[in-house]
Amino acid sequence: MPASQDDISRYFIYLYVDQAPFSKIEAAFYSLKWHHDCNPEVNNNPCDSKFLRCLLEGLKRLKAKPVSKKDPVTPDILNKIVFRFGMGSNLMHIRLCAICLTSYAGFLRNDELINIRECDVEFGSSFVRIFLVKSKTDQYREGSWVVIAETDSITCPVKMLKRYMQLGCISGSEKFLFRPVTFFKSKNVHKLRDGKMTYSRCRELFKEALDSVGVDAKKFSLHSLRAGGATAAASVGVPDRLFKKHGRWKSEGSKDGYVKESLDNLLSVSKQLGL
């Protein structure tokens, strides 16, 4: 050290030929840049050169892979899950249905869902309000309210959430809302225990539920619930202002990335060209 521009570029090419992922090349670039910035003997940081920046951008393009997004969950899939798991009084099954319906209707990320506490839930006469203490786009931790309306269908998220809270004897404490379940064999009953559900456990239960109702689980992820709700809202023309507020999006680009346009909507463009 200090390294020359040529030495660094040859190292990046070596990583590329060695099939290193772009994340490793990028990490090497910023590590070298930081090291040279901290070295008082270096007057001109080689990582500031336009050549290395262009090389890095070129390697990023060469390493780029097409984004493979998971499919959004549809109301039909939720109907199947509720018919399969939500008609009885099994706490584990009702918890699964409440997770799916609340995530779908509230456009919830899994991290938002599993961090909801009992005291964050308030029921109104025909709706539920859920306070999200933190969110991905809430950098200053101001929190936000998500309001979900009650419906008359079996997939009503408000009614299912009420059933889950009643079965789990949830009373509005500081405990997490969605918690692990323990089965007491002697009493033949499920009960909630302390702690909160993990992403991997939620994902496992969701995938198992999809498989059990004849849906290819490989096409879906937990984020498919949020994307499914967003897609359904977009298809019925929910105003952008309410759409962004409900989903806690800060930009148009991030919001639009969640919506999967229907074939009819895509065809409507060319149908209106006067041909």
Mean pLDDT of the chain, nearest integer: 87
Rounded CA separation 56/25 (Å): 8
> Judging by beta carbons within 10 Å of its beta carbon (0-12, 13-18, 19+), is residue 8 exposed, middle or buried?
buried
Q: Provide the pLDDT for residue 269.
A: 61
| Residue-wise pLDDT tens digits, 248-275 | 777 666 656 666 666 676 666 656 655 5
Positive or negative, the Cα torsion across 151, 153, 155, 159?
A: positive
Q: Provide the pLDDT for residue 4.
A: 86
Q: Provide the pLDDT for residue 247.
A: 80
- pLDDT of 47 over the 70 cut: yes
Above pLDDT 70, what percent of the chain? Answer: 88
- pLDDT of 152 over the 70 cut: yes
**DSSP for residue 176:** B
Q: Provide the pLDDT for residue 69.
A: 82
- 172 pLDDT band, cuts 50/70/90, is confident
The mean pLDDT value for 16-32 works out to: 90
One DSSP character per residue, 182-211 reads EEETTTTEEEE-SS---HHHHHHHHHHHHH
Q: Provide the pLDDT for residue 193.
A: 92
**DSSP for residue 2:** P
Give the ranges where the chain is alpha helix by DSSP (H).
5-17, 22-38, 50-63, 75-85, 91-106, 110-114, 157-167, 199-212, 223-235, 240-247, 252-256, 263-271
Q: Provide the pLDDT for residue 220.
A: 95
**Nearest Cα to Cα of residue 74 among 104, 52, 34, 50:** 104
> Judging by beta carbons within 10 Å of its beta carbon (0-12, 13-18, 19+), is residue 102 exposed, middle or buried?
buried
